[in-house]
Amino acid sequence: IAMWSGPRNLSTALMRSFGNRDDVSTILDEPFYASYLVSTNKNHPMKEEVIKSQLSNIDDVKKLCQKQATGITYQKHMTQHMLKDFDLTWMKKVINVFLIRHPARVIKSFGEKLNNATIEDIGFKQQLNLFNYVSKIGQKPIVIDSFDIRKDPRSALECLCLEVGLEFMSEMLSWPKGGHKSDGVWASHWYGSVHLSEGFSGEEANLPILNSEQNEISRNALPFYSALEEYKLKF
């Protein structure tokens, strides 16, 4: 299962949820992060540590993502990591799911962790491009909204499991506090709230108030979110 998301989008909590299943044998946490940093030279927190901790050759990462394992492999991917010149044909080998979140919520949360974010940094355009690619190759892209998961985790996960061909397990609704052996080296900077959690944190409130710069990014990202929202699972 390849879960495609932008940053600050419940993706780590969902990784914890699937990681608490006893039939998930392998978890890949943002396997393209190092190759993305090498290719773009972006100045992210813990940049050097990330590059040293992972495969950074794009072909090696693709092979890792296609590798057949005993049990289920869950892959948490950031859509902004997939640059224009990256070959996507490996995606034919996995079940592709798209985790969406309203851009206002994303940009507000992301701005608290990384200053001067751009629309490219939050991955909405890339997410729609990947969705279109999956449709083009004949797969049915699965879309789920993080707002819906937080509002009703059991119903959302039951529906998602049905779509990907798994039996729902109640163990997906909670997990132990703290880190996980599959966490990327960047967890100390980005995963603080998940490390303190034992489950999904409840229904989200109204959309946050943004400053003018954040509001402009959110406005530009909204059409990409809306295009995918039409296809989201309903339950």
- Please give the pLDDT value at position 162: 98
Ranges 27-36, 65-74, 82-91, 193-202: which has the least confidence: 65-74
DSSP 3-state assignment of 20?
coil
| Mean predicted confidence (pLDDT) in 157-183 | 97
% of the chain residues with pLDDT over 90: 86
Nearest-angstrom CA–CA distance, 229 and 215: 20
165 residue type, one letter: G
- For residue 135, pLDDT beyond 90: yes
Exposed / middle / buried, residue 107 (Cβ in 10 Å: 0-12, 13-18, 19+): buried
The C-alpha atoms of residue 85 and residue 7 are separated, in whole angstroms, by: 21
Does the structure show a pLDDT above 90 at 63? Answer: yes
Lowest mean pLDDT, pick from 56-60, 101-105, 115-119, 207-211 = 115-119
Per-residue confidence band for 115, with pLDDT thresholds at 50, 70 and 90:
low
Question: How high is the pLDDT of residue 113?
Answer: 65
pTM of the model: 0.95
Residues 109-134 have a mean pLDDT of: 87
Least confident range from 74-78, 81-85, 116-120: namely 116-120
Weakest-pLDDT range from 114-128, 165-179, 210-224:
114-128
Residue 12: name the closest of 33, 27, 32, 25 by CA.
27
Q: Tell me phi and psi for residue 205, to 5 degrees.
A: -80, -170
Average pLDDT over residues 133-158: 97
Examine the pLDDT at 191 and tell me if it is beyond 70.
yes
